[in-house]
């Protein structure tokens, strides 16, 4: 009797095949539509072998524009791999990467406002065949909190904005950001005050604490 393959194993296998086929398509593609067509073809193969049905909507109109593809609560934005301004780069701060992340963020808020979908249930994918970007609302919350801390916003304000149960919880989650800020502050202090009192080198310890 042939061994029955689990759905997880099948998806893991097919994900590699999907990525290889999309990359091959990107080498010849001149527009994002070609990437979408290849993606839909590969997803059709996965559906057939896995015995599942994906209900997709394409060119789905929302306030900020048209979402290329929506599968339940997964949205996909395809990009032209040959476009200088739109292709996705190897890093999150590449121009095309930043652009598609911002686009997906807008789609999230549109789907919440217009269709009542909870933000934390949505998952976004940006791809151009060469690179994939995955976006979740949790990541956006993390970015927001990190930026606010780095801008000097009081942890209590951030905690309330995120809906955390306590400031202590917020500080625990983002302790790595606080530690980095402390290290930078200590380095700056060493530059400004390289010597101890009376011009002699000394050990003047400074403890940085965050206000509640």
What is d(CA 166, CA 123) in angstroms, rounded to the nearest whole number?
A: 27
Q: How does pLDDT run across 10-33, given as a tens digit for each residue?
A: 888 888 899 999 999 999 999 999
Asked if residue 80 lies in contact with residue 131, where contact means CB atoms within 8 angstroms, the answer is: no
Q: How does pLDDT run across 172-201, given as a tens digit for each residue?
A: 766 655 555 555 545 544 554 444 444 333
Lowest mean pLDDT among 70-74, 107-111, 200-204: 200-204
pLDDT tops 80 at residue 164 = no
CB atoms within 10 A of CB 3: 6
């Amino acid at each position: 009797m042939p061994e029955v393959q689990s759905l997880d194993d099948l998806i893991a296998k097919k994900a590699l095949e999907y990525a290889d086929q999309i990359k091959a398509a990107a080498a010849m593609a001149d527009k994002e539509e070609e990437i979408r067509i290849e993606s839909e073809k590969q997803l059709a193969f996965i559906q057939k072998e896995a015995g599942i049905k994906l209900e997709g909507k394409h060119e789905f109109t929302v306030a900020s524009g048209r979402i290329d593809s929506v599968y339940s609560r997964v949205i996909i934005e395809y990009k032209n791999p040959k476009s200088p301004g739109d292709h996705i780069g190897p890093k999150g701060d590449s121009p095309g990467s930043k652009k598609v992340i911002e686009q997906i963020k807008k789609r999230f808020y549109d789907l919440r406002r217009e269709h009542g979908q909870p933000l934390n249930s949505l998952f976004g994918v940006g791809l151009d065949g060469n690179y994939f970007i995955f976006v979740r609302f949790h990541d956006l919350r993390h970015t927001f909190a990190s930026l606010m801390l780095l801008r000097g916003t009081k942890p209590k304000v951030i905690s309330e904005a995120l809906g955390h149960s306590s400031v202590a919880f917020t500080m625990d989650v983002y302790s790595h950001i606080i530690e980095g800020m402390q290290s930078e502050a200590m380095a700056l202090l060493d530059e400004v005050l390289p010597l101890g009192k009376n011009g002699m080198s000394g050990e003047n310890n400074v403890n940085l604490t965050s206000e509640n």
